[in-house]
Chain A
């Protein structure tokens, strides 16, 4: 669930199985080969047994159970009662649920693009080899490690509260909105600011991608008289598009699942779990409230499946759109 973990390699690597197949020069007798294959299979499954146990016990099994709970009324203490689609119809008609969808979509749609543009912009700046580059890279990355902590959420709540530094600075420009964390409409932007603050993780991935753009392309473009913007648009952007795709995919999926910061920054305001007038009641906060505070495990499971389907749809659309804008190099 950690933030730090969301950034991995480019998507192309996720699907490739690149180990070269080695064939022995002289093929041994079929029986021996078969015996060896069986022993390899046994060894493979032995080594993998922790993962297989974990997959069955903690992933596949719970998913099946969760799907079943979604169609039941279940309060943890009595046996689940099959109620068909009631959880779903109740959920869709619930104004608080609708609000949580709106808040979450808003958070994803505003926060993710700003964060990625910031990450790419700063990566382009740092891609210039200058003194101090490694220092800045490390310093900009640091928020990605501490951003998910309760400590930073507490700091955030303080900085964005009424009469605190952000509010005072705004007043200097004649804008007086009170604190962001006390305002149902503004609190979500303090969370957007918190995620943008953690642009360092995608930035590091962008930087690694930028390093692999062949220098000759820029030199050739310069000879042809291409300006800075054209070089960026026609060379840099296509060349790093796999990395861009990867960052968009993981940041989007991750944003849908925001919990702790919304829970802490919004916590305690007027007795609400997540923000004044549900202002920071993101989807997972409401899921937590329904499941663990109201003991509506069936309803919360139904909510989780709607989230899963939404995330799967977004993933599918992104993978489908990939054909149009992501350029994988031949033989890469």
Chain B
């Protein structure tokens, strides 16, 4: 944190002074930003370069990119991990991620509508409870939920991973949507009420379409979290045919890493691609949704 960094866009008072300060200041700013960028990007570039290296060179060699790149790390991925094709893991992850997105969008938007647009007895108490679950460490629920799903014979199915999403247990998204819906112009739904619309019509035809930015933000975060999730699948899935990409990778680490280190690095990169693609396509929604929808509502 240099002295330069602590200046927050001083409005230039005199033109001459501004010009004199602008060049070196801007240069230092760009050099600083580029240095941080280099640190941030290094692991990502490392994994890209490493995926084209021989297994022996990946850890030991300091060169980011090999002089003689090989693609066998990728071609060998078609052999799969422990005789299971990579596509199985991707399909499993995709099923869970898409299922989670649908669940979150439906259940959280319904709940948020009730909090934001309906006045009913007990609403404030329920809202406080909902916020409380936001701060609750997940690990307290880990074991009893496991026992519950085990008693219901649902281990090794997707249900324990999906059901919570359909029951709006992700309080963060409820909260995000409540904040958004509260700030929609009230005139619209009041007019609709006078025209005799019920709550479901207002929810479906007015509030939901207007809440699109909050819904998109929630959908992307849900997808990425479900894709990255490791602990949930680790606990609930035990048949390798049902493994997600995260578990497939872990299996790679445990079984094949010594023999096929390059393949593991290539697979790590391939596993990241969907998240990176989402990020590149929707980064505005992610960052703006996070920064603005909460802060001032």
Q: Which residues of A contact B (CB under 8 A)?
A: 1-5, 7-10, 13-15, 17-19, 22, 37, 40-41, 43-45, 47-48, 50-55, 57-59, 61-63, 65-66, 69, 76, 117, 120-122, 124-130, 132, 136-143, 145-146, 148-152, 154-156, 158-159, 161, 163-165, 168, 197, 200-201, 204-205, 207-210, 212-213, 215, 218-219, 222, 228-229, 231-232, 236, 243, 253, 256-257, 259-260, 263-264, 267-268, 284, 287-288, 291-292, 297, 300-301, 304-305, 307-308, 311, 315
Contacts and interface: CB of A to CB of B under 8 A. Distances in A.
Interface stretch (B65-73, B74-82, B145-153): B145-153
A315 B182 CA distance: 27
Nearest to A210: B8
B275 A154 contact: no
Contact of B286 (A22, A130, A141, A218): A141
A213 B269 CA distance: 40
A47 B268 contact: no
B5 A124 contact: yes
Given A1-B138, A218-B10, A53 B167 contact: yes
B62 A168 contact: yes
B246 A268 contact: no
B297 interface: yes
Interface in B101-144: 106-107, 110-111, 113-116, 118-124, 126-127, 129-131, 133-144
Contacts of B145: 58, 62
B8 A218 contact: yes
Contacts of B208: none
B224 interface: yes
A38 B50 CA distance: 64
B120 A44 contact: yes
A50 B167 contact: yes
B140 A10 contact: no
Q: Would you list the 4 A-B pairs with minimal beta carbon distance, nearest first?
A: A9-B294, A54-B167, A2-B225, A44-B120
Q: At the interface, is chain B mostly helix, strand, loop or mixed?
A: helix
Nearest to A142: B279
B59 A257 contact: no
17 contacts: A1-B225, A40-B120, A41-B121, A43-B118, A47-B110, A47-B114, A66-B140, A76-B147, A128-B29, A132-B30, A138-B287, A149-B230, A150-B230, A164-B59, A164-B60, A197-B39, A267-B250
Contacts of A61: 144, 148
A51 B107 contact: yes
B150 A138 contact: no
B141 A63 contact: yes
Contacts of A165: 46, 62
B219 interface: no
**Among B36, B116, B127: residue with most chain A CB under 10 A:** B36
Contacts of B110: 47-48, 50-51
B231 interface: yes
A229 B6 CA distance: 7
Interface string B230-244: 111001000000000
Nearest to A292: B235
Contacts of B6: 124, 228-229, 231-232, 236
A205 B286 CA distance: 12
Nearest to A283: B139
A124 B224 contact: no
A212 to B, nearest CB: 7
A209 B295 contact: yes
> Which interface residue of B33, B37, B44 has the most chain A CB atoms within 10 A?
B33
Contact of B228 (A148, A205, A231): A148
A83 to B, nearest CB: 16
B114 A5 contact: no
A151 B129 contact: no
B290 A19 contact: no
Contact of A151 (B127, B190, B271, B293): B271
A296 to B, nearest CB: 10
A44 B114 CA distance: 5
B123 A208 contact: no
Contacts of A121: 1, 5
B46 A48 contact: no
Contact of A18 (B133, B168, B182): B182
A215 B11 contact: yes
Contacts of A253: 135, 137
B85 interface: no
Contacts of B164: 54, 58
Nearest to B34: A136
Q: Which of A50, A59, A69, A219 has the most CB of B within 10 A?
A: A59
Contacts of B225: 1-2, 4-5
B179 interface: yes
Nearest to B32: A125
Given A65-B144, A121-B5, A151-B271, A2 B43 contact: no
A212 B296 contact: yes
A243 to B, nearest CB: 7
Interface in B1-24: 1, 3-11
Interface in B237-287: 245-246, 249-250, 253-254, 257, 264-265, 268-269, 271-272, 275-276, 279, 283, 286-287
